[in-house]
A and B are shown apart, each in its own frame.
Chain A
Amino acid sequence: RKEVEQDPGPFNVPEGATVAFNCTYSNSASQSFFWYRQDCRKEPKLLMSVYSSGNEDGRFTAQLNRASQYISLLIRDSKLSDSATYLCVVRGVTGNQFYFGTGTSLTVIP
């Protein structure tokens, strides 16, 4: 079983739409959780960390459900510039390793 699973999409949404991505992780003792954004042919970059209480950064909201072992990312009022692949990332029990989902592709259409 994979450590982190994501729906690969693709998600094609119109500008202004709200879109949600989910991801599940297998190890209940995992320590830390993140969403990364990766543009085509570029490196992944941190979008936001995910905290147990949930957190928001502008149009982006991340939530963690430890009981169900899933993480979500909500993007409101989608912009063309949000088009990218979004990676769900879990930091392992020892704190040394990161486990990546395969990414969810988002295209925002004018």
Chain B
Amino acid sequence: DVKVTQSSRYLVKRTGEKVFLECVQDMDHENMFWYRQDPGLGLRLIYFSYDVKMKEKGDIPEGYSVSREKKERFSLILESASTNQTSMYLCASSFPGGGTEAFFGQGTRLTVV
């Protein structure tokens, strides 16, 4: 069974904290993605990576950074958490190109207080 695993299901952090969200996939996918999902706004791409150490900004990268040191792991970093970053964060992975789909992790519901 293919797996994308996010490190936490629920997380509560304080404003100003540095927050790390981890994602690991076991499918040898080149592409990995971080999205946030908010009611009425759907999934919005924060960053994606198409190879180790490679990254590209998505639609809403401000306040976030990412790290991909190994193919299977893609980390999302909130440099200084703010209340407007309270959201559901979803990691996904896929093969590049073609007609293959994206596989999602179970999501991390982050609350910043």
Tally chain A residues at the interface, Cβ within 8 Å.
23
Tally chain B residues at the interface, Cβ within 8 Å.
27
How many residue pairs, one in A and one in B, have C-beta atoms under 8 Å apart? Answer: 54
Please tell me which stretch of B61-69, B74-82, B91-99 contacts chain A, meaning at least 4 of its Cβ atoms lie within 8 angstroms of it: B91-99
Contact, CB under 8 Å: A97 / B90: no
Please give the distance in Å from B24's CB to the nearest CB on chain A. Answer: 15
Residue of B nearest to A2 (CB): B42
Please give the distance in Å from B10's CB to the nearest CB on chain A. Answer: 10
Q: Which chain A positions have C-beta within 8 A of B98?
A: 31-32, 95
Q: Which chain A positions have C-beta within 8 A of B102?
A: 89, 98
Of the residues A8, A34, A43, contact of B101 by C-beta under 8 Å: A34
Residue of B nearest to A4 (CB): B42
CA distance A42 to B97 in the complex (A): 26
Residues of A that sit less than 8 Å from B by CB:
8, 31-32, 34, 41-46, 49, 87, 89, 91, 94-98, 100-103
